Amino acid sequence: MKARAYCSSANLGSGFDLVAVALNTFYDEVAVVDYKSSDKPEVEIVDIKGPYGEEVPRELNTAKQAVEYMLRDKKLSYKVCLELWKGIPVEKGLGSSAASAVAAVLAVSKVLGVELSREEAISYAGEGEVVSAGTRHYDSVAASYLGHVVVLYNLNPLKVLHIKPPVDPLFLIVLPQVKAPLRKTSIVRSIIPRKVPLEIHVRNSARLAALIYGLTTGNLSVLGEGMFDEIVEPAREVYVPLYRRVKRTALTAGAKGVAISGAGPSLIVLVNEEKAVDVEKAIREVYEDEGIAVEIKQARLAPPAYIVD
Ligand code: HSE
């Protein structure tokens, strides 16, 4: 039994920890290769393949963590052996750790015949995020699990909106080839301001309203305006090379919105079809100017995680 889950881009500017999109650019797969009764719940990652397989550990692994949590919570005493295929670049802000956890929870729950509500599946997969980010957060796992667009509108208990916009927006995913610091997500979460002046909170809330309206109606201009953030991004941009310059250049070249993708250093750029080539070229020139290699991919919204075979 093998499950596939797509990468994601969380936050989209004003939607920190609450809004995410699943993207069809990259995916991970997790296969259950063996399972048997055991005196305690246990998960062994027996192999990790794929283009990014060497970049993830077998022990402190989000898929392992998520499934062990599910087995304990559901009181299932099994030893489960998993094989991972990592197709999502690691530590780039594309929800790589979340996708592995989602695919693992989906594959194991199907094999063991465990019925999970979507909130249960998302919260089990979110346990995996503790390994990579130091805290639980559910935006990336919700997007990988449900596909398309997700909005978390309550965190405890978890309540999730799944939105399939009436138009399929086109994004550019910009991956600067820079090395992220060790435990990057944990670091860039720790530097976010804990207190925010009221006027900034109000402006950010206005952007969040625009973001959700744009995603729900498919109004790309309003959506692009929602992709601004004055709270999290200003604190994080030191870890995102050339962010301000790239953002300014992309918007001048016709992009509708630009944001740091998840915890960075990748960016997500909303574009019109007819402007995509110009915007991509303008962004590439900025990085080349500074001698930073960059990969840029076009992305559309991805479907939910699913069983492959
Ligand atoms: N919302 C999360 C963050 C996504 O920005 O830290 C990264 O996992």
Residue 149 shares a structural domain with residue 232: no
Question: Which pLDDT score, from 0 to 100, does residue 261 have?
Answer: 98
DSSP-derived 3-state class of residue 229 = coil
Q: How far apart are CA 225 and CA 210, in angstroms?
A: 7
- 276-301 confidence digits (pLDDT tens): 999 999 999 999 999 999 999 999 99
Residues 65 and 178 in one domain: no
Q: Output helix, strand, coil percentages for the chain, rounded to the nearest 5.
A: 40, 25, 35
Q: Give yes or no: residues 180 and 155 share one domain.
A: no
Q: Which is nearest to 143 in space by CA: 296, 300, 5?
A: 5
Q: From the CA of 19, how far away is ligand 1's center (Å)?
A: 10
Whichever domain contains 272, its CATH number is 3.30.70.890
Residues 49-79: tens digit of each pLDDT:
999 999 888 888 999 999 999 999 999 999 9
Query: What's the rounded mean pLDDT across residues 166-185?
Result: 92
In angstroms, what is the span from residue 57 Cα to ligand 1's centroid? 20
Distance CA 41, CA 268 (A): 39
Same domain, residue pair 121 and 197 = no
Give residues (CB < 6 A) around ligand 1.
10-11, 16-17, 133, 137, 139-140, 185, 189, 262-263
- How many domains, in total, are found in the chain? 2
Mean pLDDT for all residues in the chain:
96
> Rounded to the nearest whole angstrom, what is the distance from the C-alpha of residue 283 to the centroid of ligand 1?
23
Q: Which one-letter DSSP state was computed for residue 274?
A: G
**Helical spans, DSSP H, in the chain:** 62-73, 96-112, 118-133, 139-146, 184-190, 198-217, 220-226, 232-236, 243-252, 276-289
Q: Are residue 13 and residue 88 in the same domain, yes or no?
A: yes
Is residue 157 located within the same domain as residue 61? yes
User: What is the structure's pLDDT at 97?
Assistant: 94
Instruction: Taking residues 230-249, report their average pLDDT.
Output: 97
**How far does residue 221's CA lie from ligand 1's centre (Å)?**
24
Tell me the per-residue pLDDT of 184-230, one tens digit each, with 9 for 90 and over: 888 999 999 999 999 999 999 999 999 999 999 999 999 999 999 99
The average pLDDT across 229-256 equals: 97
Residues spanned by the domain of 76: 2-164+302-308
150 and 182 inside one domain:
no
Query: Do residues 49 and 153 both lie within one domain?
Result: yes
Same domain, residue pair 124 and 206: no
Q: Binning pLDDT at 50, 70 and 90, where does residue 142 land?
A: very high
In the predicted model, is pLDDT for residue 135 greater than 90? Answer: no
Identify whether the C-beta of residue 214 lies closer than 8 Å to the C-beta of residue 225. Answer: yes
Same domain, 181 and 281: yes
pLDDT of residue 129: 84
Asked if 49 and 156 sit in the same domain, the reply is: yes
* Residues 280 and 262 both lie in one domain: yes
pLDDT of residue 188: 94
Q: Work out the number of other CB atoms within 10 angstroms of the CB of residue 248.
A: 12
Structure tokens at 76: 């299932």
Residue 241, amino acid? P
